[in-house]
Structure 1
Amino acid sequence: MNYTRFEEVTLTGSTLANSRMLGTRFERCVCDQADFQDCLLYDADFRHCDLTYARFDGVLGNRDYVAEAHGLVFGMNGVQFQGADLTYASFRGAKIAADFTGAELLEVDFTGADLTGSRMLERDALRVELTEEQRQMICWVKEPVHEHA
């Protein structure tokens, strides 16, 4: 499924476990209860998707910092979840560098997850259940200010 683009597709309850998803884009898709366990998710994009009750247990979606330092980012970026609904999703044992800014993170299970390089909004610091070690792995960012003209 490398470099596949899904746009406004319903994948409710689909099993995509153990897939390679390099550069795969899910644009405004409904993926509630989908199973993404043990997938490779380099540069995968789930922005603005419904991922309620989705399972990302054991996924590998970390970043290659050596490649980034040399300007080589092809296929080695983290995972994009901005604006996604991850309510009750599970990332147990995942190794993922993801941008969770603006995502709904109600009751997400990050048990045993390595979140090194992930980003979350500061407002979520007290909303998301994380260990102290996991909190240190995350880059906490301020919510963007929207000015009205």
Structure 2
Amino acid sequence: MPGGKKKKKKKKKKKKKKKKKKKKKKKKKKKKKKKKKKKKKKEEEEKEEKEEKEEKEKKEKKEKKEKKKKKKKKKKKKKKKKKKKKKKEEEEKEEEKEEKEEKEEKEKKEKKEKKEKKEEKKKKKKKKKKKKKKKKKKKKKKKKKR
């Protein structure tokens, strides 16, 4: 019967259609899976990028802090050095002043001593002169008496 044959053929076509549908479904599933994988990959990459950025920022912050610390230390050292220098200079100045004063004192003393010596000499001379005069006078008196 030709009609039956046709029916059979139709059935076969239906089976083919079902197969095609199954294939399409499989393809769709594959596509979905691929999309999901891509999304996951993208998310992971973004996460990694974010972490790297954070790490970089952290590092930079740390470096900045270290730099600041170093600068502060340097400044402190410089200040200390300056202070030390100033102190040294002050001490030297003081020493110089003391030396000068001592010198002046010495000179003053020497001058005074010199003056006193001179005075003493003068006094002695005067005394001697007086004595001589007295002696002369005495002699004169004696002569007169005779």
Specify which structure has the higher proportion of helix: 2
Q: Which bracket does the TM-score occupy, shorter chain normalised?
A: under 0.3
TM superposition score normalised by structure 2: 0.14
Larger Rg: 2
Normalising to structure 1: TM-score of the pair? Answer: 0.14
Structure (1/2) with the larger strand percentage = 1
Bigger relative contact order (CA 8 A; separation at least 6): 1
